[in-house]
């Protein structure tokens, strides 16, 4: 919230206690509301389509005004800022003179130029691949069917294989460069006559014809040309350059993954079911083209064994090349697997496997590459409803029969025992076709489902066991949600809503400034004597609260039997008992850990239930630790 200056003062600052100083409480509430006024909607119209965290930043997707395209936006201190998706150029008819690489300069035959910041293609480059290159700092206009060239180094007399990522040095010129792609045109390394082209970045100057190409001081090949690196035709333009856009609508799925093996280098990947999948590194946005025969619009994305996997509604499961998530070349390890049903979820499991969900079947993919991929039918008859797959201690998903865990399905198969939501099965069956999104909450070990009527359920696990399911109601309709981390590595939850706002979940004390109505109903209890009438006299609640608040107590007798007089509501005040550093370091005993609040009541019955309510805007949550009831016996019911 920042600092708020109300006056000038002389002397050292004095810490004020908001729980004891009513003036400060008012000031804090004013600051909260002032801060709320700075929150803005994601630009555009309609629902927030997707929300995701990447490298400590928050991103959202929403249709632009007019619903012709969608936009990608980043949350900043100044509000939502649109991400420029960049300029792209399609190409085909690739040659064997080397490959395009990120960071190199692309030149068209007509003189247009641009620096390559993103690259995707399908097919084998040396026999004619098709794809898209993303460009920055573009000058001029690329023309369809013109040749596209970038500088590469021609080499021959290769004796020891040069590898991707090697830094090469000219033995005479002293020039250096980093090798990104090696293209063999003839010969071989084993026969000491390898010849071809090196696609490079970071070149420092012109190399000398015939000089040795050194790696770690050892000669590997010779430069073959008088002005290397020289510009060579690598492909042909297929159309002219264009601004990349996103199709409107869709439901977004994301994953962050580091394919490069360098510490801290993660990249964001997404799919939405109506457009190409995409890659985003915080600056550059690249649509991924796979060459799939039908619509290239995957619905799900996952990273597994250093391959990017894309799941489609037509039943295809496509993997990228090894460590090259935007390259779909069979010679580099890409492949297509046939699931047979529309993919409804992907999730990496703990035992070196990828769970692939369809609506009525679950599959498991084993292996490390296209050489040994093994897609097995795990179980026919147990699948996942679209968008409900989440991983907590195990993978949880909504099946036709209820909420199911992959572990329970493994243990019990297609039986009732695999369902972990038996106690609320009528509610689950009612809403299974009305799911908006699912969310995992790692900090609370929760799995949540959000429905299309502003309601949902939260399932809490303790030591891997489902310990309770709680329905809840929200003030606004959530459309999408994500669990991510802030810059400190702490879990934060965000939801995208139908009014265009992205709201942080489980944060603050209000519904965007509106009051929160909360209640808990304790079970009716007969205190060991179900036929004995009792006069109930007092309820003592054991509570933990971070701020003072008021609770409304409603005792109810004999299961709410109308023939028994119902007691009136009792209000009790809960005082702040938040622990701090001073409490921890206090050497004295007797520090109160739990507050006790009493309500003297009047009522007669064989049993009693307790309803506790609270409505507030600024009060923090109250934790109920226990309840002690005082009563006296009145005799047996006759």
Using alpha carbons, select from 336, 264, 277, 333 the residue that is nearest to residue 305: 333
Q: What is the DSSP letter of 386?
A: T
Question: 414 vs 346, 392, 406, 419, CA distance in Å?
Answer: 20, 22, 11, 9
**Position 7 pLDDT exceeds 70:** no
Give the count of beta carbons closer than 10 Å to the beta carbon of residue 634.
13
Residues 96-116 have a mean pLDDT of: 95
* pLDDT-wise least confident of 111-120, 147-156, 485-494: 485-494
Tokens 């809960």 belong to residue? 574
**Position 415 pLDDT exceeds 80:** no
β-pairing verdict for 374-380 and 361-366: antiparallel
Q: Which residues pair with 470 in a beta bridge?
A: 458
Q: Which residues pair with 253 in a beta bridge?
A: 271
Q: Which of the residue ranges 290-294, 595-599, 628-632 has the most confident prediction, judged by mean pLDDT?
A: 628-632
* pLDDT-wise least confident of 2-16, 30-44, 170-184, 522-536: 2-16
Residue 558 φ then ψ, to 5° = 50, 50
For residue range 345-390, list pLDDT tens digits in order.
Answer: 999 987 689 999 999 999 999 999 999 999 999 888 889 999 999 9
Whether the ω angle into residue 229 lies within 30 degrees of 0, i.e. cis, is yes
Give the count of beta carbons closer than 10 Å to the beta carbon of residue 520.
13
For residue range 291-311, list pLDDT tens digits in order.
Answer: 987 789 999 999 999 999 999
Q: How confident is the model at residue 242 (pLDDT cuts 50, 70, 90)?
A: very high
Tokens 């000038």 belong to residue? 8
Using alpha carbons, select from 305, 316, 302 the residue that is nearest to residue 370: 305
- Give the model's pLDDT for residue 464: 75
- CA 145 from chain centre, in angstroms, equals 40
CB 539 within 8 A of CB 551: no
Residues 211-230 have a mean pLDDT of: 95
- Give the model's pLDDT for residue 412: 52
- Give the model's pLDDT for residue 567: 60
Q: Is the dihedral of CA 389, 391, 392, 394 positive or negative?
A: positive
CB 4 within 8 A of CB 27: yes
CB 298 within 8 A of CB 312: yes
Mean of all residue pLDDT scores within the chain = 88
* Ranges in the chain annotated CATH 2.60.120: 516-636
**Position 273 pLDDT exceeds 90:** yes
Q: How confident is the model at residue 589 (pLDDT cuts 50, 70, 90)?
A: very low
Using alpha carbons, select from 59, 217, 243, 14 the residue that is nearest to residue 136: 243
Name which residue leads in pLDDT, 86 or 260.
86
User: Per-residue b/e over 359-393, b at no fewer than 16 CB within 10 Å?
Assistant: eebbbbbeeeebeebebeebbeebbbbbbbbbbbe
Q: What is the DSSP string of 490-529?
A: -EEEEEEETTS-EEEET-SSSBTTB-EEEEEEEEEE-TT-
Q: Residue 418 in 3-state DSSP? A: helix
- Give the model's pLDDT for residue 463: 80
Q: How confident is the model at residue 516 (pLDDT cuts 50, 70, 90)?
A: confident
Q: Which token pair is 189?
A: 């390394």
Residues 94-112 have a mean pLDDT of: 95
> At a CB cut-off of 8 Å and minimum separation 6, what does 569 contact?
552, 553, 554
* pLDDT-wise least confident of 105-109, 396-400, 621-625: 621-625
**Position 579 pLDDT exceeds 80:** no
Largest CA distance in the chain: 112
- Give the model's pLDDT for residue 265: 83
Q: What is the DSSP letter of 173?
A: T
CA atoms within 13 A on the CB side of 51: 31
Pick the CATH number of 516-636 from 1.10.10, 2.60.120, 1.25.40, 2.30.30: 2.60.120
For residue range 44-74, list pLDDT tens digits in order.
Answer: 999 999 999 999 999 999 999 999 999 999 9
């Amino acid at each position: 919230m920042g600092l708020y200056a109300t006056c000038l003062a002389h002397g050292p600052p004095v810490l004020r206690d908001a729980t004891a100083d009513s003036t400060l409480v008012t000031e804090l509430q004013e600051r909260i509301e002032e801060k709320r006024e700075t929150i803005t909607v994601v630009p555009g119209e309609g629902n927030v389509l997707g929300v995701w965290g990447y490298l400590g930043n928050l991103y959202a997707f929403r249709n632009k005004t007019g619903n012709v395209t969608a936009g990608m936006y980043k949350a900043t201190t100044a509000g939502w800022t649109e991400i420029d998706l960049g300029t792209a150029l399609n190409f085909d008819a690739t040659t064997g003179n080397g490959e395009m690489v990120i960071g190199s300069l692309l030149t068209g035959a007509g003189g247009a130029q641009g620096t390559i910041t993103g690259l995707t293609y399908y097919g084998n480059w040396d026999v004619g691949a098709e794809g898209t290159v993303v460009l920055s700092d573009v000058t001029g206009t690329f023309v369809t069917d013109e040749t596209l060239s970038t500088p590469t180094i021609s080499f021959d007399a290769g004796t020891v294989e040069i590898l991707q990522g090697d830094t090469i040095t000219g033995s005479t010129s002293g020039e250096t460069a980093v090798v990104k792609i090696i293209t063999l045109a003839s010969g071989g390394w084993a026969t000491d006559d390898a010849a071809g082209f090196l696609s490079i970045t970071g070149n420092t100057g012109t190399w000398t014809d015939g000089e040795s190409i050194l790696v770690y001081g050892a000669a590997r090949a010779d430069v073959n040309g008088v002005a290397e690196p020289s510009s060579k035709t690598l492909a042909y333009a297929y159309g002219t350059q264009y601004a990349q856009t996103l199709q409107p609508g869709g439901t977004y799925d994301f994953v962050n993954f580091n394919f490069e093996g360098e510490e801290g280098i993660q990249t964001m990947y997404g799919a939405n079911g109506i457009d190409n999948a995409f890659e985003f590194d915080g600056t550059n946005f690249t649509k991924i083209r796979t060459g799939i025969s039908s619509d290239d619009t995957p619905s799900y994305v996952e990273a597994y064994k250093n391959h990017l996997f894309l799941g489609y509604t037509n039943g295809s499961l496509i993997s990228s090349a090894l460590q090259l998530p935007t390259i779909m070349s069979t010679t580099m390890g890409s492949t297509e697997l046939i699931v047979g049903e529309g993919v409804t979820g992907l999730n990496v499991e703990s035992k070196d496997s990828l769970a692939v969900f369809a609506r009525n079947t679950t599959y498991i993919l084993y292996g490390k590459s296209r050489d040994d991929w093994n897609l097995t039918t795990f179980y026919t008859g147990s699948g996942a409803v679209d968008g409900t797959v989440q991983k907590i201690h195990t993978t949880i998903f909504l099946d036709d029969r209820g909420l199911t865990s992959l572990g329970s399905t493994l243990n019990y198969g297609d039986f009732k025992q695999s369902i972990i939501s038996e106690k609320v099965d009528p509610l689950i069956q009612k809403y299974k076709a009305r799911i908006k999104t699912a969310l995992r909450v790692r900090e609370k070990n929760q799995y949540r489902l959000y429905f299309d009527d502003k309601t949902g359920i939260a399932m809490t696990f303790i030591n891997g066991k489902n310990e309770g399911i709680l329905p809840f109601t929200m003030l606004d309709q959530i459309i999408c949600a994500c669990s991510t981390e802030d810059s400190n590595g702490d879990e934060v939850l965000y939801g995208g809503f139908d009014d265009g706002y992205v709201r942080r979940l489980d944060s603050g004390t209000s519904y965007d400034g509106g009051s929160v109505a909360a209640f808990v109903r304790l079970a009716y209890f007969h205190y060991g004597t179900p036929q004995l009438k009792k006069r109930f006299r007092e309820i003592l609640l054991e509570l933990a609260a971070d701020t003072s608040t008021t609770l409304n107590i409603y005792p109810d007798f004999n299961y709410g039997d109308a023939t028994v007089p119902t007691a009136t509501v009792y209000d009790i005040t809960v005082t702040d008992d938040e622990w701090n550093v001073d409490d921890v370091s206090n050497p004295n005993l007797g520090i109160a850990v739990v507050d006790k609040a009493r309500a003297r009541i009047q009522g007669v019955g064989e049993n009693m239930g307790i309803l506790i309510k609270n409505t507030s805007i600024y009060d923090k949550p109250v934790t109920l630790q226990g309840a002690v009831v005082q009563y006296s016996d009145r005799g047996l019911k006759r």
